[in-house]
Chain A
Amino acid sequence: MTRVLIPSGALGLGYDPTALERGLAAKPDIIAIDGGSTDSGPSYLGRGVSKYSRASTKAEWRGLIEAREKTGVPLVIGTAGTCGAGSAVDWLVGITEEILSELGLSAKVAVLKSDQPNKRVAEALTSGRISPLYPAPEISADLIAECSNIVALAGAEQIATAIETGADIIIAGRTTDTAIIAALPLMRGDKAGAAWHGAKIGECGALCTTNPQTGVILVDFDAEGFTITPMAEDSHATPHTVSAHMLYENSDPFILFEPGGHLDVTASAYAALDERQVRVTGSEWVPSDRYTVKLEGARRAGYQSVLLTLLRDRHYVENADAWCADIQQKCRAKAMDRLGLSAEDFDLELRIIGRNATLGPLENRANGAVELGVAGIVTAASPERVEEIAKMLNPYLLHHSLTAEEAMPTFAFPFSPAEVERGEIFEFCLNHVMELNDPMEAFDLKVMNLPHA
């Protein structure tokens, strides 16, 4: 039997300290928490940074380091710093060292990095070891070279290697959400299907219970199945809340692909042990012939600035489409003329907020608005070019009149300057897997004592 304590769905989301104490009293074998996801978009991987505040991360991580100290069991975090790129891992290693120093503690820390040098990925592409998933963008050596960061999602094998070092704290770069939870049960011979299924159910902490905000849950794994127990007193796991979690952010609620195989929960049975605990059996793990890891890459996609103007004049609210179309045409022509650009050298979009800004061409409802926002979005290859075009757009968004006959209008700018620089932007450009001969060959594991002497 293996007992895994999961403090919350992600470091930075908070957890209930009383529930955590209850979890520690239950004597877990490991404490596992996720540190990230792609869900906040490509910028974090592109820049290799965390989305959460450093102070929040430090406060929550300190609580877990103290918890670990009380129990003496390993503490593992996967996808450190939101994106799991090396720089984000180093960021959390730095925070860890700071906390240990402040607490007067020392710890053996294993650092697992998932970064993939562009050259390695390009070579794997040439040698036919990269396969597309569906839907996958077209890739080439050139596109791979445009990525600022590429990571591979580590599975249970790489986490197990880190655990085997005897480390107190394991800080991992990009991993699958489940790997950090499944690794120890798999190492100890618990049922593989249960290990992966329990890990999937537990990866978002108490999201699989009636009270998601409490965070903390305990998952017990054994030879037949797994049991979910929420640690907050007012939180309950029911067969419905547990089985429904397979729907969450999953395109297929019955099959989950992982490095080395897939989980099949088609025949799983969910039973209430009492009002709070759920027992799950019948989950199957199907090993694959090839060992593959999924890749994530963020490609550099230029620079961007955004402007916002507000239309409150009824005449302009009613004619916003024509107004925007006219500005786009005139401002584009001006940018091409004054900067010597061709139409492909930049993008200028006016997005009407209050009509179809969310769904775009899929919007099928219409209503009369009192006011409309217009976001001007300028994208080009260099920050200087973006700045120039955004400054050309500014006077149009402030004063452009629908016809030459009418008096010059002035619209509401909520900010000065009206242009907001978004800096460099990125795009996810890989939905591919890479085949490995040895699970560790594309990952880097280092063990250190922190704080450094």
Chain B
Amino acid sequence: MPELGSIVEKVRSKNAGPFWLTVDIFCGSMEAFERVSKGVSTERVATLFQTDAAQLKRFDIPSLNVVKFSLPRPQVQGTRFDRDMHGAAWGALVEEMDVN
């Protein structure tokens, strides 16, 4: 099974304010969008972030060929326990997951 990052255009992760993280998967084509939309379950993404699927907001947006996940930040931005001020590195977890 290929890594998600190898079939999509870009995975972007960013803060959405100090308390939320948002991960945008720009699939780049309808075909890739279909694969990601059907092949990536919310539960699998939640597992990567060691949280419950109920904590994730999911948006499948065919008009943009984008699948988006938002979740409370694993650590609040800038606390002593936070390691990534802008939340940009967490996207690697999604980029490196396998997709059917």
Residues of A within 8 A of B (CB): 38-43, 133-137, 240, 243-244, 247-254, 296, 301, 304, 347, 351, 357-362, 364-365, 377, 379, 425-428, 431
Extra 14 A-B pairs, beta carbons < 8 Å, given A41-B78, A243-B63, A243-B64? A40-B86, A136-B19, A247-B22, A247-B24, A250-B16, A250-B22, A251-B57, A251-B70, A252-B59, A359-B90, A360-B83, A364-B96, A428-B18, A428-B77
B72 touches A135 (CB 8 A): yes
Q: Does B30 contact A (CB under 8 A)?
A: no
Report which of A40, A248, A347 forms a contact with B85, defined as CB distance below 8 A: A40
Give Cα distance in the complex from A64 to B62, angstroms. 40
Instruction: Decide if A358 touches B84 in the complex (CB within 8 Å).
Output: yes
Question: Taking CB as reference atom, which chain B residue is nearest A135?
Answer: B72
B95 to chain A, nearest CB (A): 11
Q: How many residues of B contact A (CB 8 A)?
A: 37
Closest 5 CB pairs of A and B: A41-B78, A251-B70, A251-B16, A428-B18, A42-B78
| B79: chain A residues within 8 A (beta carbon) | 301, 427-428
Our pick among A304, A377, A379, A428 for the contact of B76 (Cβ within 8 Å) is A428
Q: Are A244 and B64 in touch, CB under 8 angstroms? A: yes
Contacts of B83 in A (CB 8 A): 351, 357-360
Contacts of A243 in B (CB 8 A): 63-64
User: Footprint of A on B, CB under 8 Å?
Assistant: 14-20, 22, 24, 26, 48-50, 57, 59, 61, 63-64, 66, 68, 70, 72, 74, 76-80, 83-86, 89-90, 92-93, 96
Closest beta carbon of chain B to A248's beta carbon, Å = 7
Assess the A41–B77 pair: CB atoms within 8 A: yes
In the complex, the answer to whether A426 meets B78 with C-beta atoms within 8 Å is yes
Q: Which of B64, B70, B77 contacts A42 (CB 8 A)?
A: B77
Contact partners of B64 in chain A: CB under 8 A: 240, 243-244, 247
Q: A247-B22, A249-B15, A252-B70 are in contact. Are A358 and B89 (CB under 8 A)?
A: yes
- Given A244-B64, A252-B57, A359-B90, residue A43 in contact with residue B78 (CB < 8 A): yes
Give chain B nearest CB distance to A191 CB in angstroms.
22
- A253–B18 CB distance below 8 A: no
Known contacts: A359-B90, A361-B50, A362-B90. The answer to whether A253 contacts B85 by CB under 8 A is: no
- Chain B residues positioned under 8 Å from A377 (CB to CB): 80
Contact (Cβ within 8 A) A425 B80: yes
Task: State the CA gap A243–B90 with chains docked (Å).
Answer: 24
Q: Once the chains bind, are B49 and A362 in contact (CB under 8 Å)?
A: yes
Asked if A365 and B96 make an inter-chain contact with CB atoms under 8 angstroms apart, the answer reads yes
Looking across the interface, which residue of chain B has its beta carbon closest to that of A429? B76
A323 → B minimal CB distance (Å): 20
| Cα-based distance from A251 to B96 in the complex (angstroms) | 22
- Please give the distance in Å from B12's CB to the nearest CB on chain A: 8
Chain B hits for A240, CB < 8 A: 64
Which residue in B18, B26, B59 is a CB contact (below 8 Å) of A38? B18
When the two chains form their complex, are residues A135 and B85 in contact, meaning their CB atoms are under 8 A apart?
Answer: no
A149–chain B nearest beta-carbon distance, Å: 14
In the complex, which of the residues A43, A247, A359 contacts B93, with contact meaning CB atoms closer than 8 Å? A359
Q: How far is the CB of A209 from chain B (nearest CB, A)?
A: 16
Q: Which residue of A lies closest to B80 (CB)?
A: A379
Residues of B within 8 A of A431 (CB): 17-19
